[in-house]
Structures are given as structure tokens and as C-alpha cells.
A and B are shown apart, each in its own frame.
Chain A
Amino acid sequence: MFDFYSSWPFWLQNVSFGVLKGLAVIAVLFPLSAACSMAERKISAWIQGRPGPNRTIVPWLAWIPIIAPFLQRLGLFQLAADGGKFVFKEDPVPGHVNKPYFIAAPILAMIPALTTVTIVPFGAYVNSLGQLVPLVLANVDIGLLAVFAISSLGVYSVILAGWASNSKYPFLGSVRASAQLISYELSMTLSVLPVFLWVNAPGGHGTLSLFDVVQAQSGRGLFSGLWLGFWMPVSAFIFLVALFAETNRQPFDMAESEADLVGGFHTEYGAFKWSLFFVAEYAHMIVGSGVFTLLFLGGWNPLPWVPLTSVVHALSHWIAWANHPAFMGVLGVLIFLGKVGFFIFLFMWVRWTLPRFRYDQIMKLGWQKLLPLAIGNLIFYALLIAVIDR
């Protein structure tokens, strides 16, 4: 099989490999986003003291004794039922909308959501030459800048959806969403500048790559092993708050505040088009949590001062196959996904704890509190790093 593959021209190998990797990411991210919607329903139910969806079962799976009832109680099959419903449901397009843009908006929502994940590394392994290789679709040097640039494009779909709906509540929702996104984008970008000031030590080559940020946190020295979240807590805090606002999650979900805007920018949407917005929102959450984990929580390293490579090295004394690159890759991805999962849980936990801010409070918080704090934080760390690196 590999002989057949290697007989292809080089560019075709590259393209087919890229397409395969892209499809793999979509095949992982799309169900993961759907699973997040299920997790949201279950966690909201538990926090509100009810069992949540627990009835759906596939008939012939119900015969498996212990596992099937457990999965049924967990509501896992509800996921498939909901997904199937969205696919087969009638998809009405209201008569008063601007049809081409109305249909383009949910597709546009998916593009940045699925594109940003290509730049996010989710693990690393040591190859046969002893080099650490990141597991990432595109290990580009502009890394985080690309994530910011592409994820901000998500607001165009919101604006387009609100405007094409030709109805006042979606329009108001989209205006709010875009204003909020612009306000918090500033603080978010400023909050990660100290991280890159620290990572790009003088003398080295300059980089914005997320893999290099993780590398800067996976040493064993006092500073080189310290996760940046502990070294720059204010940056991490501002980034997290801005992340809540960027993903339009409560308490910042002004874009769809159902109390005053019916459903926000997707009021006129239904069925599959609506579910695309939904999946895009969760994909943004996953990617955002991933970026936070990489920047501030050491990526795939299990503990501060305990990098993944030394864990694998220690394990290989007892287990023979621990030296295999696949073992380290899988372990790293699992640790990374665990951290991302915690942040997804945090998003939902906060959603069912805090009431929604008023619109003017959001603007005040963004411009008058977070932005000065982010600027002060940048100046403080710039001076501190200048003193340390001198």
C-alpha cells in the first residue's frame, strides 16, 4: 500500500496527506463540539438538581447488560438523536430574509471554527532522530496571530446572520456581538504579549508559535518549568475573561440574551443551519480552551516542572514500549484533552452560576477595567523581563 502511495508525485502526496489530516480534524472536532452540547445539557441538569436527558437508547444496543443502561443514563445516545433530528428536520427559510446571505452565514460560522484548530498543537512525540515533533496540522511561526486573525472572522458570520435575517432582534444581537468582540479582542491580545516577551528571549529566533510557548514551559529549571499561568496570573485571568466574551458565553452572551432579544442573532434560524451556529460556538470554545492551556497551563505537560518527555523517559525504565513515539503522542494528547475538558467544564459551570451582565456593564468592564489592567500588566512584565534578561 505504501509503495503505491509513494509512487504518486510529491505534490499529490502532500495534498492528499493534507486533505486526510484536515478530514481527521473535522471528524474529531465536529463530534467533540456536539458532545459538548450534550455535556452542557447534563451539567446544567446536575447543577439544577435534575437528571437531564436519560431515556434515549438504540434498540439493539439495549441488550448489552451494564454498559448500555449506564450510557443511557449518561444521555450519550441523545447526542445521535439530536444530530439526526437536525439533519432530517424541515429547514424553513423565512420569506423576509435576504436568502443568499442568510444561507451563507452559518457556513461562514463553521469556516473559522474549523480553521483555527489547524494551528493549535495538541501533543508532541520524540521521533527516531531524538527530536521533539509537535502533533499539529500547520506548525506555522505566526501561530497565535493566525488563531486571533481567523477566530475573529467568526464575527462576520454573526453580523451577516443578524443583518440577513432582516428582523430587529437578530440585528440588535449581531450589533452587540460585534461591539463586544472588538472590545475584548484588545485586552485579549494585550494580555498575551507578556507571554511572548518572555518566550522570545533575546538572542533566540523570534516566534509566535504555540509549540514554542509550550517548549518554554517544559523545562525543569525554576523558570523554564514554571507554567506561565502561575508566572503571569493577571495575563491568564484577563485572557480567560476575554475568552468568555469572545466565545459569547455567559455571563457575556449579549448576542443571544433570550430575555431581551428573543434568541439573538439566530432568532430566524432553525434546524440544520441553527445547529451549525451551535457547533461553531462550541468549536470556538474548544479551540479557545486549547489555546489557553497551551499558553498558560503548559500544554501537554502533566505538572509544572514535570515535562512530558521526562515522564515518558521515567516510564520507559519499567515499560518496554513506553519509548515508542505513539505512546508519548497519545499520552500527550490525553493530558492536553483533559485540561481542555476542564476548561469546557468551567465554561458550563460559570454559565449556570453567574447571571448575565447588562450591556453597559460589559462595555464598562471591557474598556474601563480590563483594557487598563492589560496595559498595566504589559508594562509591568516588560520592565520585569527587561530586568531579568539583562
Chain B
Amino acid sequence: MATVTVQRKPLTFAERTYIPQILGGLKITFQRMIKPAETLEYPEQRPEIPKNYRGVPTLVKDPNGREKCVSCQLCEFVCPPKAIRITPGEIPPDAPTGHVEKAPQAFDIDMLRCIYCGLCQEVCPEEAIFLQNQYSMNGLTREEMVNHKDRLYELGGTLPDQHHKWDKKKAAEEHGNAAH
């Protein structure tokens, strides 16, 4: 490897007095001082959330208002800090969504354990769990920091996708390829 000798010029007299450098620094700080502040005044001004932000995990419903989660428990298995706890439940066959496999009876995410890694969103085969924009999560007790199923749906809202996977499956079962 070639060795390059860097020429280090001796400091000039002006540089050794520090004064030109000090004046330059003072100029920079003064320019900074008359510029407007860079910070947000938080409770009144909220930050702009970038796309694909990973906030608090939430559950979503499809455009028909059906809960998308089928309690397959993949997210529970993949969750590194074991923050998710799902109790699977059956759907009564005579319900409008009776053709769907299952639905969670209880779905708890312990936000004291959650590390916002987004693996649950990545692993979900039903696109039912999403890390959305909520960045501020607080509570006064441990119990308050656990998001239950109703709270998760309240935070998640509706995902406006038009897959309707389970309706298509039901239609195919009933009419075969004629449906298409």
C-alpha cells in the first residue's frame, strides 16, 4: 500500500492567536441565532409522520366491517418479546361471517413488552395487524398499558382494501368457476 505523506502546513501567526477563528465562530453562532428555531413545540405542534412509520400495533377491519384477524396466532409465535396473547374463538355458523375460519376471542398486546419491530405485521397472512401512526402511548398502571381487542380495533380502523378473500372463497365453493 502506497504511503502518502500529508503535508501539514505550519499555522500562520493569525491562526496562532486564535482570533480569526474565534471571530468566524462568533459569526456562525450569530447567524444561527437570528434564524427561526428548528424545534417543534410539541403539544401544540405535532410532527409529520413519515410513510411506513411503525407506531403502536393495531388491528384493522375490512371495508364490510368484518374483523380481518382469524386468530391463526402466527403473530403471537413470531413476536420476539412475547407481547401478543391471543385466545382463539369460534364464529357461529349462522353468523353473516360464518364462512370465515375463526376470530379471536381475546387479543391483548402488552405495550410494556412491545418493541415495535413490526414482525407481527410482516407475518400476518390476513393483513389484519398493522403498526400505524400513533407514537404516543402512556398509562398510569401496568393494566392501562395493555391494549385489549376493542381498543386495538378502535385504534386500527378500517383498511380500504378490496380483496374480500373469504367472500371470494365462499363464492367459489358455491358456484365454482362460474362466479368469475
Contact = CB atoms under 8 A, between A and B. Distances in A.
A350 B26 contact: yes
Contacts of B30: 349
A49 B38 contact: yes
Contact of B37 (A49, A352, A353): A49
Interface residues of B, number: 14
Nearest to B36: A49
B39 interface: yes
A51 B29 contact: no
Max chain B Cβ within 10 angstroms of own Cβ: one of A43, A349, A353: A353
Query: Which label, helix, strand, loop or mixed, suits the secondary structure of the A interface?
Result: loop
Interface in A338-379: 349-350, 352-354
B41 A353 contact: no
Contacts of A54: 41
Max chain B Cβ within 10 angstroms of own Cβ: one of A43, A46, A50, A350: A46
A47 interface: yes
B25 A49 contact: no
B39 A50 contact: yes
Contacts of B11: none
B26 A349 contact: yes
B38 A353 contact: no
Given A46-B33, A47-B33, A353 B26 contact: yes
B41 A49 contact: no
A181 B29 CA distance: 28
A353 B39 contact: no
B37 A47 contact: no
A353 B33 contact: no
A51 B30 CA distance: 15
Interface string B66-105: 0000000000000000000000000000000000000000
Given A47-B33, A49-B38, A54-B41, 18 more contacts: A43-B33, A45-B37, A46-B34, A47-B29, A47-B32, A48-B32, A49-B32, A49-B37, A50-B39, A51-B41, A349-B29, A349-B30, A350-B26, A352-B29, A353-B22, A353-B28, A353-B29, A354-B25
Interface of B: 22, 25-26, 28-30, 32-35, 37-39, 41
17 contacts: A43-B33, A45-B37, A46-B33, A46-B34, A46-B37, A47-B33, A49-B32, A49-B38, A50-B39, A51-B41, A54-B41, A349-B29, A350-B22, A350-B26, A353-B26, A353-B28, A353-B29
